[in-house]
Structure 1
Amino acid sequence: MNILKYKEYEGTAEIDTDRQVCRGKILFINDLVTYEASTPADLQIEFQNAVDDYLETCRDLGREAQKPLKGQFNVRISPELHKQATLKSIRDNTSLNDVMKKALESFLYSSHEVNQNLK
């Protein structure tokens, strides 16, 4: 799936073969904001219009527009992995949050292939 970007927002770019249109929705907010166009080039324009309209509508309603993602989420892991991560934070004299951040960055941005098979 392709991702459109504008201001602080991302949105989907899909083709609806049944209706013969390009369509999408703004990602990472609870409000449902959709857009569609007849061509991919026009879809980017409609996405930008949808973001601008969303921001303007929120202003008109006197409420704050939702920001895409807060940088906070819950992860469920085994108690043993939790323990090992906590011990790592103690050994490194850092926070558990920092250990998890570094682990996630390593997973996402490492140029080396990571073997994800667990025994």
Structure 2
Amino acid sequence: MATLRYNDYVAAVDYDPGTKLFHGRVVNVNSVISFYGATGEELEREFATSMETYFEVCRENGISPDKPYSGRVNIRLTPELHRDLVAAAQSQGKSLNAWAAEVLKQAVLH
């Protein structure tokens, strides 16, 4: 899956064989923002247009646009799993945070 960026906003891009268009959707906000394009250039242009329209609608309605995710994640674990994860991280000479970020990134790439 490909991604596009517009400032700090990230969109995942897929191909829709039914419409023969590329479809993008912003993935790092709660609002639903999507767009289509037949070419890469058109897709990028439609992404920018969708974002600017979203910002305009927010201004008109007096609401703040969703901010892209902060990068902070809070995960609840059992104490035993927490212990095992710390041990796995330490065995590689890393902090739990650094190790977990690396493992999660690899999971997304596969």
Please confirm whether the aligned pair reaches a TM-score higher than 0.5, indicating the same fold.
yes
> Quick one: which amino acid aligns to residue 17 of structure 2?
T
Q: Structure 2, unaligned stretches of length 5 or more?
A: 87-94, 106-110
User: Does residue 18 of structure 2 align to residue 18 of structure 1?
Assistant: yes
What is the root-mean-square deviation of aligned Cα atoms in Å? Answer: 2.6
Equivalences for residues 35-114 of structure 1 within 5 A: 35-83=35-83, 99-107=95-103
**1:13–1:43: 8 Å Cα contact kept in structure 2?**
no
Unaligned runs of 5+ in 1: 87-98, 110-119
| Distance in 2 separating the partners of 1:79 and 1:16 | 44
Displaced runs of 4 or more, over 6 A: none
What TM-score do you get using the length of structure 2 for normalisation? Answer: 0.73
Q: Residue by residue, what CA displacement relative to the aligned partner does 1:23-65 show, whole Å, maximum 9, x if unpaired?
A: 1111121111111112122101111111111112111111111
> How many equivalent pairs are there?
99
TM-score by length of 1: 0.68
Bigger Rg, which one: 1
- Once the two structures are TM-superposed, the CA of residue 68 in structure 1 deviates from its matched residue by 1.3
Q: Distance in 1 between matches of 2:64 and 2:70?
A: 14
Q: Which amino acid aligns with 2:3?
A: I
